[in-house]
Chain A
């Protein structure tokens, strides 16, 4: 079958229905098994030993007192741990040398008969260090900023179109401001967990991962194994938001511990505090945005310069200015990314890496430009809407940012807004509204394979090693399979969450449905081609996610608009968000019930980013000091009032057979700007540094 035929539109019947989560009963009854919870006989418990300095090396480790504790089975350090076969990824290269790259890095582990014993005994390990001067000071005026070869997801580090500097010099209106976002931590509710068994040259891992297959592909070369020698089991994952998208050091530590006690399961879960050091975070950013426009608000130039941090042991370059390249029509556009390497934990993916901090800056600057031009902020965005991709010049597969803005304006009663700031006082609360745009690329990762078999009970078993981190994969893939096989959802038995099933790519970049769903559609079409509408019991077919030549012809991005109403206490500066609305243009919605949850979930995380979240790095110690939920506040019930999400009724035939473009990230993108813009409208105070805390508003 040709690639084009594989991507032909699906006739949708189950797709589009608000099916309740198929894993719902298991989750509300406590029956769903997360990584820690699989019943395994004779399990041992692992508790890590961590570096207490930010840079230097281990001189000696005294484990005498540890070994003397009854119930301790083994202690591993760099002196006795199994040797890893690849040092390509230094984040994972643990217990291999005496060197220390950041405070909290693993330097050992205790394996014991109970969690209590392991933790107590780990506390008795005495380590002497050779401490070297560390540097964890993130500032824009450093002289050691450098340009990485590329930024995350393979984008160019810098871009330049036209002559932005010249256009800025002659522009009638210029906005030139610096915006900052702090270090932020993903904090999925399930702490990162690996339960490992090493038996006869094979690992079995029960892991909280966004990619069962990608995890084993990362780990296999480290241990000198074929990927097939590692089985990863992950039927339910308690959130991830990017931090479970790549292997982290705890995966390796659990495997090293398992090799120290062959045949016995070892259980490792990080504490919440350890998660602030060991499973990635969003880099802090310092972003200078310059917008040049004529007095009617038509952009002549956009310039976006980003400074962010990475760790000395491994580079991660957040693609913060990337959305700026495609967002608005401006003849002149330049973007840059500069990094500083510090002795800090390794940054990584956090929900919409790049877009989330970048669009806070751009969309706040756009609000400032609207004010400078005395234009409604929606009208400003409409005037600068891009008919084709400003970066590549390609046509959009579909872009309806204007539709999102207009629909949201109607639902949010935007037209009755008085544009004057600090104009509404209600019972001691200053009230304002704000808007911001959202965007996120449509990604599809190649390589996913689905297998379909017809069973004697009249059902089609559909297998692939995909995962459900809470996004609704169990339900959405079942709906896609039902339509692909032209049968009811009850005739589908989906199997996911295990590398025993065919390869599936990582749940990241909002790519799950595009990557996995297309494989299921291809397998279903192959199945019908081979076996017809009335297959014999036991008939099987497999197929991979097909290439899509449309990806070369079109620029594929989703868009959205966020509206927020805030109330700022005139006496205390407390910010409340009584109302938020998101409107999205994301192609076809597979399941309206679970899709709405993803959107409002992203918006809730965006509210949290706007008002609460800040990880504080104490540069004197290289330590994240706000390392629990008391000090790193994430939005709680009391912070959230009325949040709703709606979408445009559309399908993107160029994206894939389902017409979808992915929805997991876009809900968070732009939210902080919408709230910040509403805070300006309420108070007349522009806050350019997140989070927006009361001290900023007591003017």
Chain B
């Protein structure tokens, strides 16, 4: 019961002896030494632990590791292709979308998930009639509000996401 088969950033892991109480976040950080995903509250209130599970963003601190049997996880460590940064990573540097950097991996993973949600037409609280979701600044802010930044880089984070969304081809 304590075995787990999980793919992280394209690498398959066959794990044994996983404590039933271990969250996905602690598994990543303390067992697999993938410390890019951060712990800021351990309660799903800050978003610093955001990772992509089968393409969807979740708070890794709110999810027990053993519930992810067979899942494909992408963390901040899996976004760059060699030396080439993911466009959002590059945009965060260009727009100075962080100061201390502790919320940054979560912000970037969350932005990838949020942009995909918008692409699939998922409306939010600010999407008007919900028929057509337009990626304006209000939509970005609403979609990113689960990711807190105490350094107060929100203005620059929104600018970075806006830049990437405009450049990205519709797919």
Docked Cα-Cα span, A36 to B30, in Å, equals: 9
Contacts of B42 in A (CB 8 A): 271-272
Tell me which of B115-123, B141-149, B162-170 binds A: B141-149
B6 at the interface (CB under 8 A from A): no
Identify which of B85, B142, B149, B153 gathers the most chain A CB atoms within 10 Å of its CB.
B149
CB pair A239–B39 under 8 Å, yes or no, is no
Q: Which residues of A contact B156 (CB under 8 A)?
A: 597, 600
A628 touches B151 (CB 8 A): no
| Bound CA–CA A303/B151 (angstroms) | 34
Give the distance to chain B from A478, nearest Cβ to Cβ, in Å: 16
* Bound Cα distance from A236 to B39, whole angstroms: 15
| Cβ A29 vs Cβ B96 within 8 A | no
Q: Which of B40, B76, B90, B157 contacts A637 (CB 8 A)?
A: B157
Residues from chain A with a CB closer than 8 A to the CB of B22 are: 114, 116
Is the Cβ of B153 less than 8 Å from the Cβ of A597? Answer: yes
Chain B interface main SS type: loop
B114-159 at interface with A (beta carbon < 8 Å): 137, 140-142, 144-158
Docked pose: A594 CA to B94 CA in angstroms: 11
Q: Which residues of B have CB within 8 Å of A425?
A: none
Q: What is the minimal beta-carbon distance from A617 to any residue of chain B, in angstroms?
A: 21
Q: Is the CB of A27 within 8 A of B41?
A: no
Chain B residues within 8 Å of A593, by CB: 96
Q: Is B5 an interface residue (CB 8 A)?
A: no
Say if the beta carbon of A25 comes within 8 Å of chain B: yes
A16 to chain B, nearest CB (A): 16
Within 8 A of B (CB), among A19-41: 20-21, 23-34, 36-37, 39
1/0 per residue B31-50: CB within 8 Å of A?
00111111111110110100
Nearest chain B residue, comparing its CB with the CB of A20: B93
A33 to chain B, nearest CB (A): 7
Residues of A with C-beta under 8 A to B38? 34, 189-190, 238
CB pair A30–B41 under 8 Å, yes or no, is: no
Supposing A30-B35, A30-B105, A597-B153 touch, asked if A629 and B92 sit within 8 A by C-beta, the answer is no
A171 sits at the interface (CB 8 A): no
Tell whether A604 is near chain B: CB-to-CB under 8 Å: yes
Q: How many pairs of A and B residues are in contact by the CB < 8 Å rule? A: 184
Is there an interface contact between A637 and B144, defined as CB atoms closer than 8 Å?
Answer: yes
Instruction: Say yes or no for A415: interface residue by CB 8 A criterion.
Output: no
Complex Cα–Cα for A602 and B150 (A): 9
Please measure, in the bound complex, the distance between the C-alpha atom of A27 and the C-alpha atom of B21, giving whole angstroms: 29
Picked from B40, B80, B93, B149, the residue with its CB within 8 Å of the CB of A191 is B40
Residues of B with C-beta under 8 A to A36: 29, 35, 39
Contact B100 A239 (CB under 8 A): yes
- B99 on the interface (CB 8 Å rule)? yes
Query: Is the CB–CB distance between B76 and A636 below 8 Å?
Result: no
Contact between chains at B153 and A39 (CB < 8 Å): no
* Residues on the A chain within 8 Å of B157, using CB: 637
CB-based contact A114/B19 at 8 Å: yes
The interface on chain B, measured as residues whose beta carbon lies within 8 A of the other chain's beta carbons, has a size of 60
B85 touches A25 (CB 8 A): yes
Do B99 and A239 touch across chains, with their CB atoms under 8 A apart? Answer: yes
- CB within 8 Å of A: which of B8-67? 19, 21-22, 26, 29-30, 33-43, 45-46, 48
- Within 8 Å CB of A241, what residues of B? 150
Task: Point out the residues of chain B lying under 8 angstroms from A634, CB to CB.
Answer: 148, 150
Rounded to whole Å, the gap between the CB of B116 and the closest CB of chain A is: 17
A648 proximal to B (CB < 8 A): no
Interface contact B19-A116, CB-CB below 8 Å: yes
CB distance from A248 to the nearest CB of B (A): 17
Say yes or no: A30 contacts B76, CB within 8 Å. yes
Interface 1/0 per residue, A615-655 and B, CB below 8 Å: 00000000000001110001111101111100000000000
Tell me how far the C-beta of A264 lies from the nearest C-beta in chain B, rounded to whole angstroms: 15
Q: Which residues of A contact B105 (CB under 8 A)?
A: 28, 30
Instruction: State in angstroms the CA–CA spacing of A4 and B148 once bound together.
Output: 45
* Residue ID in chain A nearest B146 by CB atoms: A636
Cα-based distance from A642 to B150 in the complex (angstroms) = 17
B21: chain A residues at CB < 8 Å are 116, 120
Stretch at the interface among A217-225, A404-412, A466-474: A466-474
Docked CA distance A189–B37 (Å) = 13
Q: Which residues of B contact A24 (CB under 8 A)?
A: 92-93
User: Are A37's CB and B29's CB within 8 A?
Assistant: yes
Which partner residue on chain B sits nearest A595 by CB separation? B96
B99 touches A30 (CB 8 A): no
For residue A596, CB closer than 8 A to chain B, the reply is: yes
What 4 A-B pairs are tightest by C-beta distance, nearest first?
A: A30-B36, A604-B152, A470-B100, A238-B102
23 intermolecular pairs with C-beta atoms under 8 Å apart: A28-B90, A29-B85, A30-B75, A30-B77, A32-B101, A33-B35, A37-B29, A189-B40, A189-B151, A238-B38, A238-B102, A239-B99, A239-B151, A241-B150, A470-B99, A594-B96, A594-B99, A596-B96, A597-B96, A597-B151, A604-B154, A637-B147, A640-B152
Known: A30-B37, A34-B38, A189-B151. 18 other contacts (CB 8 A): A23-B101, A28-B76, A28-B85, A29-B79, A39-B33, A186-B150, A189-B48, A191-B39, A191-B41, A238-B38, A241-B150, A470-B101, A470-B102, A597-B99, A600-B153, A636-B154, A637-B145, A641-B141
